[in-house]
Amino acid sequence: MDYSYLPHTEIEVSKICLGTMTWGKQNTEAEGHEQMDHAFDKGVNFFDTAELYPIPAESERYAETERIIGNWFKKTGNRDKVVLATKIAGKAEFTKHIRTTGFTRDAIIGAVEGSLERLQTDYLDLYQLHWPDRNTNYFGKRGYEHSATDYWEDNIHQVLETLRDLVREGKIRHIGLSNETPWGVMRYLEESKVHASLPRMITIQNPYSLLNRLFEVGNAEVAHREKIGLLAYSPLAFGVLSGKYLGNRKPDNARLTLFPNYARYSNEVATSATQKYYELAQEHNLSLAQMALAFVNSRPFLTSTIIGATSMKQLEENIASSAITLQETVLERIEKIHDEIPNPAP
């Protein structure tokens, strides 16, 4: 397993990060614990979760994933050996059962306290804003459309002040963003540059895969120049880049079979691109999943790739991708396909 540092810290994290959003819905607590045991044994020391999980978000299962992880920490005593990241849910129709206030001071403090209790820990290594308070383009929306009726009062200074206080109390070590645009990243970074007492965002958790390389358009330059690390989520595009849905297949218990509304990566153009990537992987005796993950792992702006699996077989294959280095000929062919079908699934 390769490791890298969380930017601006001395914290080493595995190049593969264990994603957890299926635990408590598609996976039982026992299966979640089995996944953590295996990943930890393979050198994965970085776990990512969120108060929102499992998904789809439901009030009766609210934050069940964090509870599962907390029980594993209690059982194994491995808390101090794991770099733990979680997130506060943003404001949306599907999060009204969590809160409706957005990132107010009370909301952030309450969310952190709740996560600490469920995770059975007294500190969080990385605390992230799951998506912006303001209306902007994320979760599959390609372009930004401004509306004068969508009023948003800039609260970024206040958000950072609250996070600063939680850092000072020792409840949070570092902070990060998620589903954020270049404007949002720079706005947070500039605020902490101007006000030296405010904490600095060190990571951004955004989608990045062979089907969605929009991070490269604006955020990649920000990542390089500002030293903010990408935590790439959906590197397999909801499992589409495993190839298991090709030919209109609907495998039993697969995410898109169970939740067909999660169609972000399943449009006709994305399916065409997936077929081309599948054929390329076959030519070089690679599984499509491992080629797709190895590509993401190779990006110079990447800090860690977040994988998620519902079976041990998937988990083993995904973790093994960390040992694969793609040949230049494969990378060149990937670029050719990308030029033909760029970013088919935002």
DSSP state of 218: T
Task: Read off the tokens for 2.
Answer: 């390769």
- 3-state SS class at 67: helix
53 catalytic per annotation: yes
Indicate which residue of 3, 5, 53, 265 is catalytic: 53
> Which residues contact residue 209 at a Cβ distance below 8 angstroms, ignoring those fewer than 6 apart?
232, 234, 235, 236, 237, 241, 265, 292, 296
Residue burial 217-252, b: 16+ Cβ < 10 Å; e: rest: eebbebbeebebbbbbbbbbbbbbbbbbbeeeeeee
302-307 vs 16-19, strand pairing mode = parallel
Query: How far apart (Å, rounded) are the C-alpha atoms in residues 200 and 215?
Result: 20
Of the chain, the end-to-end C-alpha distance in Å amounts to 30
Backbone angles phi, psi at 331, to 5 degrees: -60, -40
What is the C-alpha to C-alpha distance for residues 84 and 97, in angstroms, rounded to an integer? Answer: 25
Burial of 42 (C-beta count, 10 Å sphere; 0-12/13-18/19+) = middle
- DSSP 8-state class, residue 311: S
Q: What is the DSSP string of 240-299?
A: GGGTTTGGG---TT-HHHH-TT--TT-SHHHHHHHHHHHHHHHHTT--HHHHHHHHHHT-
Q: Which of 133, 204, 199 is CA-nearest to residue 172?
A: 199
List, by residue number, the catalytic residues.
Answer: 53
